[in-house]
C-alpha cells in the first residue's frame, strides 16, 4: 500500500489505465449473473454502458488523490488517462452510430 502513497504522474496513469479494465470484467460478471437469475439471460445492461461506468468510476480515484495536497501529480495522471479513455469511448460509439 506504500506504493499508492507516492506522488507520481506515472502512478496515476497506471492506476487509471488498470482500474477500468478490472471494473469492466467485474461488472460484466455481475450483470451476467444477475441477468441469468432475474431475466433468463437477457442482459440487464448493455456492454457499452458497462464500459462507460467503468471509465466514470475512475473519477473516484481522481477525487481521492486530487483533494490530498501532496498527491496532485498522481491526480493529474489519473485525470489524463480518464480523459483519453473517455475520448476513445466517444469516438468508438460515434463510429457505431455511423455504421
Q: What is the mean pLDDT of residues 73-79?
A: 91
Q: Answer whether 35's CB lies under 8 Å from 81's CB.
A: no
Q: pLDDT tens digits, residue range 60-71? A: 888 888 887 788
Reduce the secondary structure of 6-23 to three states and give it as a string: CCCHHHHHHHHHHHHHHH
Residue range(s) defining the domain that contains residue 40: 7-98
Is residue 18 included in any domain, yes or no?
yes
Chain centroid, CA 37 distance in Å: 26
Is residue 1 included in any domain, yes or no?
no
Is residue 37 included in any domain, yes or no?
yes
- Which three cell numbers, joined as nine digits, stand for 42? 437477457
Q: What is the mean pLDDT of residues 88-95?
A: 93
Q: Answer whether 18's CB lies under 8 Å from 81's CB.
A: no
Q: Answer whether 13's CB lies under 8 Å from 81's CB.
A: yes
Q: What is the pTM of this model?
A: 0.84
Is residue 2 included in any domain, yes or no?
no
Distance CA 43, CA 32 (A): 7
Write down the number of H helices and E strands in the chain.
Answer: 4, 0
Q: Answer whether 14's CB lies under 8 Å from 52's CB.
A: no
Which of the two residues, 98 and 50, has the higher pLDDT score? 50
Q: pLDDT tens digits, residue range 6-60? A: 888 999 999 999 999 999 999 999 999 999 999 988 988 999 999 999 999 998 8
Query: How many structural domains compose the chain?
Result: 1
Amino acid at each position: 500500500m506504500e506504493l499508492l502513497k507516492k506522488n507520481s504522474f506515472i502512478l496515476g496513469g497506471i492506476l487509471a489505465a488498470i482500474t477500468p479494465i478490472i471494473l469492466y470484467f467485474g461488472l460484466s460478471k455481475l450483470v451476467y449473473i444477475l441477468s441469468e437469475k432475474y431475466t433468463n439471460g437477457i442482459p440487464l445492461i448493455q456492454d457499452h454502458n458497462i464500459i462507460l461506468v467503468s471509465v466514470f468510476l475512475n473519477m473516484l480515484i481522481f477525487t481521492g488523490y486530487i483533494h490530498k495536497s501532496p498527491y496532485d501529480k498522481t491526480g493529474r495522471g489519473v485525470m489524463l488517462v480518464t480523459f483519453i479513455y473517455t475520448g476513445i469511448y466517444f469516438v468508438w460509439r460515434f463510429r457505431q452510430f455511423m455504421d
